[in-house]
């Protein structure tokens, strides 16, 4: 089992959600996050003074997947969130030891 974590531009969430749904993903978690990568931050202006905002708003998506579906899920996220411009975000995949659905106590792939 894998945990797919994706950092995306906030306004791409609807597109990504639709793409994941189409790819058969039935659950995901979204958090509002801030950070910087190569994009750096952005500037805002108040009374003529420019302020550097280093940590820009992003969304962090977490999706669990079985080993054989991980590429489908990653491809769906990449396809839906890419604008081709700097700041599109990043995806990383980590191995998960165990998953438990609390209500039914199912474990493993059945709990995803």
Cβ contact 53:41 at 8 Å: yes
Q: Per rule CB under 8 A, is residue 31 in the interface with other proteins?
A: no
Q: Per rule CB under 8 A, is residue 52 in the interface with other proteins?
A: no
For other proteins, the closer of residues 34 and 101 by Cβ is 34
Among 21, 42, 71, 90, binds other proteins (CB under 8 A): 42
Query: How far is Cα 44 from Cα 50, in angstroms, rounded to an integer?
Result: 6
Beta bridge pairs of residue 107 = 100
In angstroms and rounded to an integer, the radius of gyration of the C-alpha atoms of the chain is: 17
Residues that bind other proteins (CB under 8 A): 9-11, 14, 34, 42-46, 53, 55, 83
């Amino acid at each position: 089992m894998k945990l797919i974590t994706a950092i995306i531009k906030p306004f791409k969430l609807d597109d990504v959600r639709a793409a994941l749904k189409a790819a058969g993903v039935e659950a995901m978690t979204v958090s509002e996050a801030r950070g910087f990568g190569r994009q750096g931050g952005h500037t805002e202006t108040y009374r003529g003074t420019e302020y550097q905002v280093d940590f820009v708003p992003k969304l962090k998506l977490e999706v669990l997947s079985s080993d054989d579906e991980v590429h489908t899920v990653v491809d769906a996220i990449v396809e839906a969130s890419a604008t081709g411009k700097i700041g599109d975000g990043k995806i990383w995949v980590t191995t998960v030891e165990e998953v438990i659905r609390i209500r039914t106590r199912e474990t493993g792939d059945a709990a995803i």
